[in-house]
Amino acid sequence: MMDFPPRPTRLAQQTIGELLREGDVAIDATAGNGHDTQFLAGCVGATGRVLAFDVQEAAMRSTRERLREVGLEERVVFHLASHARMAEFAEAGSVAAVVFNLGYLPGEDHGLATEAAETMRALDAAGVVLKSGAVLSVVCYPGHPQGAVEAACVERWMNGRAADAWRVAKYAMVGTKAPAPFLMIARKP
């Protein structure tokens, strides 16, 4: 039985999956345990490429192992580096999708989490590497202290893009006891 409404990560994948094509370049800005990296690698096909970023070696190991198990490792270029550096590894206007799943790496140190300032630099870099018509997806987790600040910054950044003619949407649960994760998704004009 499908979750209803869908989790933000699932909704992001549904939307992105309709837009990515064989041969595209995509970026997983926060590789984590590799779920989004695997999804993107499946979407871009054998002729496409995924750039996967994470600052934690445990995340890179987990992602590599996941991709190796399903035979998709060769479609991915791994970067043990901040997502803010993505413009160093992708040409301006060359990327069809950038995916962020913010917060901390599940099963690891929750004290190590994405940070607002670095994420803002990464979003600026994403704006440069995305081509016209490309999609940017950010799942925010306002339920932990750093996450609330980061989520507010992401929302302000996205609102700024809406003023620049990007198509921007926010998907969130309402009426929850604690701040629920939410999805911000945008399409570059």
- DSSP per-residue letters across 141-159: -TTSHHHHHHHHHHHHHHH
What are the two backbone dihedrals, phi and then psi, of residue 151, each rounded to the nearest 5 degrees?
-60, -40
Structure confidence at residue 8 as a pLDDT band (50, 70, 90): very high
Separation of alpha carbons 145 and 137, rounded Å: 22
Strand partners, 113: 104
Amino acid 41: pLDDT = 98
Q: What is the pLDDT of residues 36-67, one digit of tens each?
A: 999 999 999 999 999 999 998 988 999 999 99
What burial letters (b/e) apply to 116-130, b meaning 16+ CB within 10 Å?
Answer: beebbbbbebbbebb
Q: Which CATH superfamily is domain 8-187 in?
A: Vaccinia Virus protein VP39 (3.40.50.150)
- 69 pLDDT above the threshold of 90: yes
What average pLDDT does range 20-33 have in this prediction? 96
Residue 127 has pLDDT above 80, yes or no: yes
- Provide the pLDDT for residue 45: 98
Residue with the bigger pLDDT between 179 and 138: it is: 138
At 99-119, the pLDDT tens digits run 999 875 565 555 666 788 999
Average pLDDT value for the chain: 92
Q: List the one residue out of 113, 180, 127, 115 whose CA is nearest residue 157.
A: 127
pLDDT in tens, 128-169: 999 999 999 999 999 877 888 999 999 999 999 999 999 999
Q: In this structure, is the dihedral angle defined by the CA atoms of residues 109, 172, 50 and 167, taken in order, positive or negative?
A: negative
User: Cβ distance 149 to 139 under 8 Å?
Assistant: no
